Structure formats: C-alpha cells, structure tokens
Structure 1
Amino acid sequence: MLKCYNVASMRKILTLIALILFIPAVPAMSEVKRFLKGNPADVHPKLHGPAFHFQGGGDDVDAAFQWMFDQVRGCTDCSTKLDVVVLRASGDDDYNDYLLAMKGVDSVETLIITAPEDSKRPDVIQTVRNAEVIFVAGGDQCNYVHNFKNTPLQSAIASVIKRGGGIGGTSAGLAIQGDYMYDACNGSTKSFEALANPYDQSISFTYDFFHWPNMDQTMTDQHMVERDRMGRTLAFLARQIRDGKTKSVLGVAVDRETSLAVDKKGLGRVMGKGPAYFILADHKPELCEPGKPLSFSNYKIWKLDAGGEFDLRHRPKNGFYLRSVRDGVLDADPYSKESCDPQIASLSTIHDSSLLEQKIQEISRACPYDFGPFKFVDKTNDPSYIQKKSVELRRFLDSATRPDRLLYFPTLWQLELRNAPPEKVEEVHKEVAEDLKRLKSEKDFSGNDAAQVLQRGEEIISEKK
C-alpha cells in the first residue's frame, strides 16, 4: 500500500535531497607529523639576530649550529633558552636529540610538511611564529616550493627573521635561501647539461620565496665540489642576467660538511670542512640562448677555506680569480686559482707516511676537485686514512660525468679492495660490476684509456670467479 504525502512534505524532502547532493564536500584537515622534544612551554627571550647557517649538505657542522644559537641568544654562556623548529618534507625526528643537546636550546620540534594544506594550519603557523630558530632539512627543494610558497607558513618563517631570530638549512634547505632559486622541479641538472644548454628542460627557477638581509641578488647551491656543480651554477647565474631578472648576481655555493655562517651585519664565515665559493656574474653573457652552449667571460670567483670570511653587505672588489666559459667549456679548473700539478708530482718523492698524508690534504684543500692526490693514498699504508679517502673518492665518482674523472675508477677499486676484510671482498666485487655497467653506458667514455679502465674492472670480476 502506497503512503501519500502532501505537497509541503514533498517539498521538504526534495529540498533535503538537493542539499545533500549539491553542498560541496569540506576537505578534511591534513595530518601533520609533529615530534616535540624538550620543554613544551613557549619561551620569549630577547633576540639578537638575525643569524644564518647555510650548510652544503652531508654531516652537520656542530659549531655552526651552536654559533647560530648563540648569535640569536646574544651570548655564549648565559641562561637564555630558545625554541627550535625543524621543517622537513619527509624523514623523521633525527634532529631533535642532536639539537636539544646544544647549549641554549629549550625545545626542538620537527614538523613534516607534505602538502600546501599543511602550511595553512593555524597550529603549524603558530608553532613556527613562536620559534626563535628555524632549520630546514635536506631533501628536494621542489617540495618546499610546492608546500611553502604563497602560504601563511612562508610568511611565518620570514617573521622569525624580522624578530631577530635565526634560520638554517642544509642541502635542499640551503637551495631555497637565495633571492633566486634553482628549484629542481624538473629533475636535478648536471653541470655538463647546463653548460651545453642553459635552457635545458631540467632547469627551472622560483622567485620571491625568501628575501633575507644581505642576501639580495644571490643564488645558492650545495654539495658544490662533491657533485661538480660549478658548471651548472655558472649557467644558472648567466640565466638570471639573460632573462632580465638582474644585472648582477652572486652565487653562494657551499660544499658538503661545510657551513657559511652569516651574522646580522652580513659577515659570512666558513665553518666546517670547506670550501665555500662566491661567484659573481656582473655583465651580459656573450651567448646564452636555448639549445646553444653557454659563452660567458670573466666570472669572478672567491674561494674560501674553513675560517675564511666574506662580507655580503659590503662585497669585496678584489681577491677573486677569473674563469670563462667558451662554447660550453670552462677555460680552466674553476675550483682552484692555480693548478696543483707540480705539487701532485712531488708526492712521488715523499716516503714518510705521515708527511704524505699531510701533503695530500694540503693539495686537496687547494685543488678540491683534482683527483690526482688519490693515486698516492695507498702509499700511506694507513688503513683508517685509506678507508676515509676511498669513501670520499666514491662520492666524487658517483656524481662525476667528465670522462677524465671516470678514469679514476681503478684507483677507487684498488683502495676499496686494499681495505676490505675477506668477508667484504665480494661486496666490493659487486660494486665493481655495477660501476662497469655504468661506465659502459656513458656515451662519451671511449678511447684507449677508457678501454683500459673497463679491462681492469673485468679483471677484478674474473679474479672473483
């Protein structure tokens, strides 16, 4: 039996259905992973910054963190405490215990920001605004662009600096600190690609992200020597001028395990391992066009080792060396002012192990991207030193693309086999096999020298069998 409804009832039912069907869904607020260590209460100290800790990646520079905290506190030995916020797009809370153990830190809270919606949450914004120091971890700077830009979080970070707080960043966290940013949103660009075509599809930039005091008209890069990034930095700088963003731009490039600590007066000091580079492009490029190799004469380069200083407010007019790019090719080693060939040749005359280690280190500091000294590491007969240098050379070669650098793989294999205990030899052999696959795929790795490298690798594999 059908139940009858009057007209008024039917209208109410239809209205209710319409509301259910057409009211837009309200998105649920995203979950932000938060890890707090230390005192949850907010502190309100007087701040004495701003202070900046620009780290090039790799192992953290303890002294640079403590320097930043002390600059913001205004003292090195006092009871003033700070709240520190670590921002990440992935990872966990591994900075919490490390930073909390430092002098003057009241709490450390890590926020994992994975979406733009996270950067609009009132609780996130309040946490960041209340902090005295912000540290941006490594990862992928494109995630920070996607998640931070044009959000309240971006403004909240800037507010900490305006109050006299501190900001630090490592690797991708350093990449976002300049006036102009290479954002890596189309993949990571290698130097040879950028020099061959400054408009390579992998190259993209972000603007108006942060504008820090004394960092005007700058562009940052990281893992500088380790990943041979000078060439791409030169191309990025040329692009800023060619694209009309500026008439002059300063590259601030820091190597791994190194920090540039910049105080409120703009004085930057290199801490940690070193080096850091400052590269000035101050005129229009001779050629910077899509699909054509770069030509740019007379980049001015300052190389600073640990302890060196650079005034970012009153930028120096001397103390640099010049490097030029012609048809996508650098005219000389951009990582050092002079060639280290004579010093490297002299290593063959040194028979004292301690002195040999000392000289290798001196040359490596002077010419950090010259692989020649690695050929003499084995002669030190120092297992711990050989292990350290083999790890370093492995990092270099994992990122190397130049054929002349790839010729050093037999040197690496010798060092790794020399130091490997019997139970680890098979692992080394497997790495050699992977290295051979890579070398055979390198289209420019050819000729007699390359053939000898491949032959040596095959011999090692045969020895295993």
Structure 2
Amino acid sequence: MKRYILTTLAVFLVCRFAFSQQSASSFIGPERGSLVIVGGGKVPAEIWAKFIELAGGEGANIVVIPTAQGDSSIHANKGFSPEKELLEKFGVATVKVLHTTNPTEANSEIFVAPIRKATGVWFVGGRQWRLADSYLNTLTHKALKDLLDRNGVIGGTSAGATIQGSFLLRGDTKANTVLEGDHVQGLDFIHNVAIDQHILPRNRQFDLIPVIRKYPSLLGIGIDESTAIVVKQNQFEVIGNSVVAIYDVTNFDGKKENPSGESGNNGPFYFLSKGQKFDLKARKTIKTK
C-alpha cells in the first residue's frame, strides 16, 4: 500500500489547493448533482430513501465502493457487500461493487466504466486514507465529478463522509485519532470544508476546533451518527436522527450572535437539527418563515 510522506511543502500546497476552490467555483457544493454525507452509525431508512430518490428511484444504477474497509475485510467477506444487498432490498434495479487499492487500476477506463453508467455512488465507511490512496487524482476521481455534473448523487458514511470534503480530517495511516496526518487532501466534492463524523458517541465534538483555528478559511462540519446533510450547490439540509455541528472561526470568540437561532452559542460551535438548512457560502442558517 502506497503511503505518502507529508512534508511542510506538501501541506502548504494541499491546503492552498483546498482553499482556492471557492474562488474557482461560485458554489461550495456541487453545481449539479447532490451529496448525501452521513455521520456513521446505522443509516436510517429515511437517509437511504433520499439517496435512492436522488439517484433515480428504483431505476437507479448505483456503484458501491467499499475500499475504506481495507482489503482484509473485503476479502474476508468474499466480496459480499451489505450495502449492495440493502439497496437491492429497497428495490434498486442495478447495484455493482467496485474496489481497488491500486491507483493505476483506478486510473484505467476499464475500471471506471461502471461509474460512467451510474446515477449514484455510495462510499462505505472504514479509513478515509485508503480512499485517498486509491482514487485521488485518478480517472475514477474525475468520473465521480462527471457523475455529479450529470445530476447524479454521491453518498457515503463515516470515512465515506470525510473523504468528500476538501481537507481530509483523520487521514493518518497510523491512527484515526491524528487529526492532521499523512493524508490531508480529500476528493473535494464540497470545497473549503473539513468533515468529521461519529461526533457525539466518540466525544469528537471539540476535535475540529484546533483544525479550524489553524486553517480559518475552512468550514468545519461535524455530523453525528444516523444523521446526514444533503448538499446541493450552496446549501445543505439536515436529515436523520441527531445533529450536525458547525465550526466557523468567526464564532470562536463567543461573541457573535448564534446564526442557528439556537441557545448556547457562547462557544466555538453550534448545532443544527433535522429539517434545518444551512447556507454554505454565507455560513449561516437559513431561517424558515
């Protein structure tokens, strides 16, 4: 498995790339298509239903990518994917599993062919650095962006959530407790964003704070288990069972009025709950009438 040695220069270049994406596009999220970003844990039927709907309903063509689990886990399951079986039970017509740990293979037309036909892709959880090792800056990466451009949907949970941001949090090969490790570049489907998951059960709600202090251009999004954000262009909506935490450096002094309208904003983050919408460009909650 190829591992990247992160030098000071590499950190600078990666972060400069990540932070420049907002100026390159008028949208923080995908201009076309959607993202369904899940914070791990059991994925509720509501979230699966939204993902399938955005992929085209029962006629959807979905590719499941289990690479974050690692070869040993995938081989132990003999290629069986619970996500594939579940999607088929929900009535999806076509579901395929696509996996490699070889970026050369991921850079081949033969490998990406199923993605070119897909209406949706789902990233399984595991370790996000494995996804970066295999797919970052390959034809697979481009094919995923092309899928969004034709109004497809990309979803993922846990590691499959974090990989969708521009900054790859917990991307270290040694341990997922290292916040800024030897992989720091995500697939950048949502620009200038660092995504964390499992935030409440694993007591991670404070972990994004030092990262956002160090890189104040980033917006931090912490998604709790069984919860998702559905991202389209410059907005997302919270769906599922729990909350989403927002980390914006302009709130870190504890003096700014809570943009979510919730109580308890005298701290560096605030929570959004089911049904609330957020403006990614303005970095504030969208108030409903």
Give 2:241's aligned amino acid: K
Tell me what 1:210 maps to.
187
The CA distance in 1 between the partners of 2:95 and 2:219, in whole Å, is 33
Check the 8 A contact 1:116/1:146 in 2, yes or no. Answer: yes
Residue 282 of structure 1 deviates from its aligned partner by: 3.9
Tell me what 1:274 maps to.
242
Residue 93 of structure 1 deviates from its aligned partner by: 1.5
Tell me what 2:16 maps to.
none
The CA distance in 1 between the partners of 2:52 and 2:38, in whole Å, is 15
The CA distance in 2 between the partners of 1:281 and 1:318, in whole Å, is 19
Check the 8 A contact 1:86/1:134 in 2, yes or no. Answer: yes
Secondary structure at 1:206 match in 2: coil
285, 307, 325: which is aligned to 2:275? 307
Residue 50 of structure 1 deviates from its aligned partner by: 1.0
1:377-416 map, 5 Å: none
Tell me what 1:418 maps to.
none
The CA distance in 1 between the partners of 2:277 and 2:250, in whole Å, is 21
Check the 8 A contact 2:227/2:239 in 1, yes or no. Answer: yes
Tell me what 1:260 maps to.
229
1:25-174 map, 5 Å: 50-73=33-56, 81-89=59-67, 90=70, 91=74, 92-102=80-90, 105-174=92-161
- Cα deviation code 1:306-364 (max 9, x no counterpart): 23322224431799xxxxxxxxxxxxxxxxxxxxxxxxxxxxxxxxxxxxxxxxxxxxx
CA pair 281-205 structure 1, distance change in 2 beyond 3 A: farther
CA pair 67-313 structure 1, distance change in 2 beyond 3 A: farther
The CA distance in 1 between the partners of 2:208 and 2:250, in whole Å, is 14
The CA distance in 2 between the partners of 1:227 and 1:98, in whole Å, is 26
Structure 2: runs of 5+ lacking an equivalent? 1-30, 75-79, 254-265
Give 2:215's aligned amino acid: Q
CA pair 317-157 structure 1, distance change in 2 beyond 3 A: closer
CA pair 265-122 structure 1, distance change in 2 beyond 3 A: closer
CA pair 158-317 structure 1, distance change in 2 beyond 3 A: closer
Check the 8 A contact 1:249/1:282 in 2, yes or no. Answer: no
The CA distance in 2 between the partners of 1:317 and 1:173, in whole Å, is 25
Check the 8 A contact 1:265/1:313 in 2, yes or no. Answer: no
Secondary structure at 1:229 match in 2: coil
Check the 8 A contact 2:276/2:286 in 1, yes or no. Answer: no
Secondary structure at 1:174 match in 2: helix
Give 1:237's aligned amino acid: I
146, 161, 172: which is aligned to 1:184? 172
Check the 8 A contact 2:55/2:62 in 1, yes or no. Answer: no
The CA distance in 2 between the partners of 1:304 and 1:259, in whole Å, is 11
Residue 265 of structure 1 deviates from its aligned partner by: 4.3
Check the 8 A contact 1:133/1:166 in 2, yes or no. Answer: yes
The CA distance in 1 between the partners of 2:251 and 2:269, in whole Å, is 14
- Cα deviation code 1:140-160 (max 9, x no counterpart): 111111111122111111111
Check the 8 A contact 1:53/1:65 in 2, yes or no. Answer: no
The CA distance in 2 between the partners of 1:269 and 1:284, in whole Å, is 23
Check the 8 A contact 2:252/2:267 in 1, yes or no. Answer: no
Residue 239 of structure 1 deviates from its aligned partner by: 2.5
CA pair 211-188 structure 1, distance change in 2 beyond 3 A: closer
Residue 121 of structure 1 deviates from its aligned partner by: 3.3
Q: Which structure shows the bigger proportion of residues in helix conformation?
A: 1
Residue 299 of structure 1 deviates from its aligned partner by: 6.0
The CA distance in 1 between the partners of 2:251 and 2:233, in whole Å, is 27
Check the 8 A contact 1:137/1:170 in 2, yes or no. Answer: yes
Tell me what 1:42 maps to.
none
1:238-387 map, 5 Å: 238-241=213-216, 248-262=217-231, 264-282=232-250, 300-316=268-284
CA pair 49-99 structure 1, distance change in 2 beyond 3 A: farther
Q: Which has the larger radius of gyration?
A: 1
Tell me what 1:232 maps to.
207
Does 2:196 match 1:221?
A: yes
Q: Which structure shows the bigger proportion of residues in strand conformation?
A: 2
What percent identity do the matched residue pairs reach?
Answer: 23
Structure 1: runs of 5+ lacking an equivalent? 1-47, 195-201, 242-247, 286-297, 320-465
Residue 135 of structure 1 deviates from its aligned partner by: 0.7
Count of matched residue positions in the alignment of Structure 1 and Structure 2 = 234
The CA distance in 1 between the partners of 2:195 and 2:271, in whole Å, is 15
Residue 203 of structure 1 deviates from its aligned partner by: 3.4
Residue 53 of structure 1 deviates from its aligned partner by: 0.9
The CA distance in 2 between the partners of 1:205 and 1:235, in whole Å, is 17
The CA distance in 1 between the partners of 2:285 and 2:89, in whole Å, is 41
The CA distance in 2 between the partners of 1:172 and 1:139, in whole Å, is 5
